[in-house]
Amino acid sequence: MTDNADLAALIRTIPDYPKPGILFRDVSTLLLDGPGFRATIDRMAAMVAPDTTLIAGIEARGFVVAAGLSYALGLGKLMLRKPGKLPGEKIGTDYALEYGTDRIEMHVGHVREGQKVLLVDDLIATGGTALAGVDLITRGGGIVEQALFIVDLPDLGGAEKLRAQGIRVDCLIDFEGD
């Protein structure tokens, strides 16, 4: 396992969710553990590039991680939301998941031109959600040079897709074979 075996042990695996053959890595059990969640945020904060000026979290579990990092680093938090949740002018993008399709949106004007934005979520699998987040931030004028996740499922290739776009990808835990 990795240096973060203590945190990996706090993540439960739910077989056959959301469909047969999927091993769902559920970080909610990690979030339930106060010291484990604090260690997660502290370790992730230590990985954040020093020129980062904004943290973008993807709904919903990514909000939890992004809020912790925003607090720890004293940075603002951008919300990338599911459709129908933002009241102001917004842009959106549709994307494919490993088991369907979805859409995320963000408010227009919440990213400054040339602003360095860290993309954060709980887990990266096929990379569809993360790539959609990069697309939104870039279309809004921001620059994504780093993405940060608690869990990577490297066999599904999402982190590699981000790296192919020149984005540094950091994760605390890899779960192989998923």
Give catalytic residue positions: 61, 98
The contacts of residue 20 (CB under 8 Å, 6+ apart) are: none
Burial class (CB in 10 A: 0-12, 13-18, 19+), 41: buried
Cβ-contact 104, 132 below 8 angstroms: yes
* DSSP letter (8 states) at residue 81: B
**Residue 87 contacts by C-beta under 8 Å, 6 or more apart in sequence?**
none
Contact 169, 134 (CB under 8 A): no
β 143-152/168-174 pair status: parallel
Query: Roughly how many angstroms between the first and final C-alpha of the chain, as a whole number?
Result: 15
Question: What single-letter amino acid sits at 155?
Answer: D
